[in-house]
Amino acid sequence: MTYVEIETGTYDVEIALAYGTPENFTGQPVYKNSHCFLHQAAAEKLERAAELAARHGFHFLIFDALRPSEAQWALWNHTPDPDFLADPRKGSPHSRGVAVDLTLLDKDGIALDMGTAFDAFTPRSFHGDGDISIAAQANRLLLLGIMSTAGWDFYSKEWWHYQLFDPRSYPLVSDQELAKPMMT
């Protein structure tokens, strides 16, 4: 399996892995060591998306990428909500290294208004939600357009989540398989 570490110096992205800090819905760090990995195929599509975003004066802030299976279990055990978390028995696209949670930053490094925060487990997080401002709707459409053009699929209930098509064709990844473990 080929997993690539996504680093700010290599990709035009900022990285702030939410599950490496207590600033997430669990209120505590899930990752002991914050490393941002993607499967090689996803890393290539992220690079293409970053190029497209840069053409329009934007770059990405990554909230999460590869999430070891052990982390998926920790999240599920805290909040077993199938609308916003994949059941770890089935496996998440994150736990296969083929999903990324992100937003757009402007040229000054300020996140665009997307109408909700990352991991806001509410219908307002759905793509196409009409209860958010017109500006936030436009920003979501901009993100969706960039990611779709770069070859990513989206999850309709989370404006921040993008994944490769057919994610189950990729194997699940456990923490001990990573070159730099995240959980231990």
Q: Which residues belong to the active site?
A: 158
Q: What distance in Å separates the CA atoms of residue 93 and residue 31, rounded to the nearest whole number?
A: 17
Residues 66, 3 contacting (CB under 8 angstroms):
yes
Residues 92, 84 contacting (CB under 8 angstroms):
no
The position carrying tokens 């669990």 is 26
Of 34, 142, 161, 1, which is closest to residue 153 (Cα–Cα)?
A: 161
Of 71, 98, 21, 28, which is closest to residue 174 (Cα–Cα)?
A: 71
Pairing of strands 37-39, 59-64: unpaired
Q: What distance in Å separates the CA atoms of residue 1 and residue 40, rounded to the nearest whole number?
A: 9
Q: What distance in Å separates the CA atoms of residue 29 and residue 37, rounded to the nearest whole number?
A: 17
Q: What distance in Å separates the CA atoms of residue 107 and residue 56, rounded to the nearest whole number?
A: 10
